[in-house]
Chain A
Amino acid sequence: MPAQQQKWLNLFMKVLPLSLLFLLTGCSERFVLLNPKGPVAEVQKDLILWSIWFMLFIIVVIFVLFAVILWKYRERPENLDYEPPDQHGNTLLEIIWTAIPVLIVIALAIPTVKATFELEKPPKESRGVEPIVIHATAADWKWIFSYPEENIETVNYVNIPKDVPVEFKLTAVGGMSALWIPELGGQKYNMAGMGMTLYLQADHVGTFKGRNSNFTGEGFAHQTFDVNAMEKEDFYKWVKETQASAPLLTKKQFNEIIQVGVLKDKLTFSGTHLAWVDFAKPGEHLDNIPAKEKHGTIKLEEVESDHHDNREHESHQHEGH
């Protein structure tokens, strides 16, 4: 019975998105987009929630209209001789349903434009605090973080001080990647031969997941890293220790690291590769680096068991806080 089926369809269509929303606003830890740990992600969360209310309003209005109209004007055995009227349109109605979306778009556009401009600068919560500069270089398939001031380089993890804006300088060795730490804020692309700036900040201590979110081939799924946000004192203690005890990064080692392949180790060095190469400069990219072998087939089992062997450079393992 079609009308009956239609009713079920409507019910289903209404219940599902709503229940999803309740899940979302429940703000459980798992919904990283709604679980900000810093001011940038906070701005984005507010924007997202603001838009969700309008979108829900639209969905409810249209679904209700839809259900009522279908129910009322469905063909029944009794109304088979009903001939629908010849309506051409209705100017007033058409103006109304053009005007309301216009208003909604304005209501969304203003905060969007504001936020978009705001995110190009360090967060206003920490105005006056000097940002810490960290170069984030994506290589297929690992992350390299260089602290030019502190003269430290880390691989696959990054330590940052809490409540200090971080000025990430994004670039890449090969494929176009994207640095994304959902709990701290949205992504931007890392591109070889050019540099971009992404401001993020943590206002909680903790370890957050970061990753490359832009597809770069075989090892892409494994190109993740940890962000450890620490108290300022802890951070500077770590900096001092590392400067003193971590092995010096050599050119040879660095060239090993950036060869195409999955690398899951967390490595720490004193000195940065910026001393001899900056991939943000035009013309600096993997094609100019002596290549080992660019392609191999990656199987998950290998990746999982691969960490320990064949990396004989004395790396200082560091497992977050």
Chain B
Amino acid sequence: MKWDEFFVTGEPLIYMADAAIVLTIIGIVFVLTYFKKWKWLWKEWLTTVDHKKIGIMYIISAVLMLFRGGVDALLMRAQLTVPNNTFLDSQHYNEIFTTHGTIMILFMAMPFIFGIMNIAVPLQIGARDVAFPYLNALSFWTFFFGALLFNISFVIGGSPDAGWTAYMPLAGNELSPGPGQNYYLLGLQISGIGSLISGINFIVTILKMRAPGMTLMRMPMFTWATLITSILVVFAFPVLTVALALMTLDRIFGTHFFTLSGDGVPMHWANLFWIWGHPEVYIAILPAFGVFSEVVSTFARKRLFGYTAMVWSMVAISVLSMLVWVHHFFTMGSGAPVNAFFSVSTMAIAIPTGVKIFNWLFTLYKGRIKFTSAMLWSLAFIPTFVIGGVTGVMLSMAAADYQYHNTYFLVAHFHNTLICGTVFAVFAALHYWYPKMFGVILNEKLGKITFWFFVLGFNVCFLPQYVLGFMGMPRRIYTYPADAGWTELNVISTIGAVMMGIGFIFLCINVVYTYFKGERDLTGDPWDGRTLEWSIPSPAPHYNFAVTPQVKGLDAWWMMKKERKEGKEEEKPEYKPIHMPSNSGRPFIMSIFFFIAGFGLVFEWMPVAIIGLIGVIICMILRSFEYDDGYYVPVEEIKQTEAGRE
């Protein structure tokens, strides 16, 4: 590889990005040095094993990725607004839609969800941290460096351009030469390690670390959603790991698993990809269901309607979601019996999903509905997600899908589910749990402005795309002729996208405004909440619960408040020293070695890759010989922290 091929050249947009990156780095280094914050950064963040801080880092990264993916989206919409547009050429457009899809699902939705889980789950179950705090840090840092590796592709070496689905043989060496596709493989592989570890971590945390009295059927719904999602992660992600590894072998070491030459079978890639890929979309939506359940119940001031049905419907969805992957390639010719089976199994998912919708509606029924920002996001979810769901059912009808497949109808469907499901949920969760994270409440007025721009923008952007599908507009085309008749709706769609962009800007303004002027939450329970996280001060102290709570039923904190109101005697809490895990820099350093190894493999510089891998192994060996048993938080400190409340 020549040096002029190493850096991407020739595009003004890229040079602007180069300049922006350099300036940002200089800016960050300058600020850290000027304010003498390096040590703070290392001690408080880079080495932390505290689930709340890890959660915050997840969310910050996810918001950055939402920005990057959003810019990609706006560039695509700009290109498609008018026919025969030459704003982007084909190659550039293909790179952008590939990175957009990959980033939004793997580096935005997933980490955002993991961030929320990290913050809420231990607090909801009355635990001090997750089961394996050190591994939790490793999860975050492998995700972070995997995402970083993927993201530098557009200035160094060139981005992948074969779609987030990376179908073979297109993604193979013959049709996609160069490092671009390797970035996809290695970036996903490294961050995938983090997802798998998180899955295991949350399963153990939820099964083993609940406060006394919290039986499984007394768990908050978000915790249930996290448990089921984590089980899905543990089943699904190894499939992706294997598929990525095989394609990496094909591309770098000349094997023939998915290639056309040497008796490889490209279809196996599609098959493996969707065996992971379909559960993956449910990994993105189940936690969202959990968030909505919490928020709706809190702001309707009612217990969740049909709790048991809610749990079982999630279990049913997760089981079914393992049995439907073929609906992504009905057109690959598996034959009528196979397609018929997967049609029906896919439709069946709509049944438990419908049950959930009705249960939310009946949670609202006879409630006292308070329209906070978090609640608005959750309410908007119901009608919009119904549209996404029914169009999913339409797509699941194999014979009809032969027409819808690969069109904008499909594009509209999955944005309708992913945005109105996952994105609305993480925004709702952000508003809802923000006080627990930072001790301040996001501004409601700005929150509502964000909401209206974004939700209206969403509908203006994506509803026309259903129609474009009916008009025969295929997905992933970088331009279309004027006589296709798709122009008007594309213009409307772009307007919607811009509105969503404006909504996002207001969200950022809100964060900054709240940082300086936000209303402090002094009660620890600003929403009159129902679950245990609201029983502790805001922001949550680093040890979470001064005394482990006793759980007597569903909505434990609500019950405690009721008992208190009824004048029941409360025992004076007796503080004991709390055992906490020590910080560690190793997850961070180990992930840097992962990054080095990945970078070496991307460019097929084997010495670099080997150095990176050796670094990883050394870190693992060092960990095995570590005898750090953590430390104790003294009673004095607990007393002081707890006294600061009310």
Contact = CB atoms under 8 A, between A and B. Distances in A.
B405 to A, nearest CB: 6
Interface stretch (A215-223, A225-233, A268-276): A215-223
A48 interface: yes
Interface string A206-245: 0001010111111111000000000000000000000000
Interface residues of A, number: 107
B266 A73 contact: no
A285 B347 CA distance: 37
Nearest to A20: B467
A297 B399 contact: no
B614 interface: no
Contact of B348 (A43, A48, A105, A119): A105
B340 interface: yes
B401 A186 contact: yes
Interface in A48-91: 48, 51-52, 55, 58-59, 62-63, 65-66, 69-70, 73-75, 79-80, 82-90
A55 to B, nearest CB: 4
Contacts of B175: 140, 174-175, 216-217, 260, 294
Interface string B444-460: 00001000100110010
Interface string B155-183: 00000011100011110001111000000
Given A51-B394, A105-B350, A176-B170, A90 B362 contact: yes
Contact of B161 (A65, A101, A118, A217): A217
Contact of B455 (A9, A52, A59): A9
Contacts of A221: 90, 477-480
A30 interface: yes
B306 interface: yes
- Of B84, B361, B376, B400, chain A has the most CB atoms within 10 Å of the CB of B400
A193 B403 CA distance: 24
B354 A101 contact: yes
Contact of B383 (A2, A66, A88, A97): A66
Interface string A264-288: 0000000000000000001101111
B387 A17 contact: yes
Nearest to B259: A287
Contacts of B463: 16-17, 20
Contacts, number: 310
Contacts of A59: 386-387, 390
B303 A2 contact: no
Given A30-B471, A101-B351, A300-B89, A116 B399 contact: yes
B640 interface: no
Nearest to B394: A51
16 contacts: A59-B387, A62-B386, A73-B367, A74-B371, A84-B301, A84-B368, A88-B303, A89-B307, A97-B354, A108-B397, A119-B402, A120-B336, A187-B406, A213-B407, A217-B161, A221-B479
Sorted nearest first, the 10 A-B pairs with minimum C-beta distance are A186-B402, A2-B371, A115-B399, A89-B306, A55-B390, A221-B477, A213-B406, A32-B472, A215-B476, A97-B358
